[in-house]
Structure 1
Amino acid sequence: LLTAVALLAIGGVVVGASVQQIAYEQQVNQEVEDVFAGDEYESVEIVTTRVRYGGISPFQEPQAVTVTLSYTGDGSPPQVGDQLDERLGAAGGQDIRVRVQFVEYQQ
């Protein structure tokens, strides 16, 4: 009985940590979408947003966010790294590394 209670307690803690990670990732996705919602970024499309954690444990803090974008405008893509870094750092209350990469598609 004691073993079963201990396993249930551990399972509850792991589920709680996973729920926190999911909530953080949803917050990151919303912040990224908000940055690119304006008309100034109509040529930018979000491809993926990925959060990287410090290890395999569900208790690890997020260490980095990689935002992959596509750009269909003329010239160079906009410099958005600092804006995303500021926005995501403020949202999470932590110092995380933000990477932005643009992909090119052939038509």
Structure 2
Amino acid sequence: MVVKRMGIVWNLRRLRTERDMFQTTDLIPALAEHGVHLSREQVYRLVAQVPQRLSMDVLAVLCSILHVTPASLITVIESHVQVSKRGPDRGVAGRLGSWGRSRADAH
């Protein structure tokens, strides 16, 4: 069976460097000018990782700072993944296969 998986590419790092904002900390004063106060660590995570949750206010401010739209910041990637059909759920041991058994059980 083939299932559709959705993912995103977070383009903040690329867009930031295209605008000569090479240090993560370059975003801190720009964000603060728009009323968004994030710690150095929060800004680093915002740049370095794909955010799982992002407030609309922060998204709007990033778009304003970088002069882009949300579609420029976020690229949606669709992939199709082949998954095997399996019988009824056999619990953790069934999902783990031989990893779920002790050495004595495996022999």
Same fold (TM over 0.5): no
**TM score, norm. by length of structure 1:** 0.29
Q: Which has a greater percent of strand? A: 1
Of the two, which has the highest radius of gyration?
2
Question: Which one has the bigger helix percentage?
Answer: 2
**TM-score when normalising by structure 2:** 0.29
By relative contact order (CA 8 Å, sep 6+), the higher-ranking structure is 2
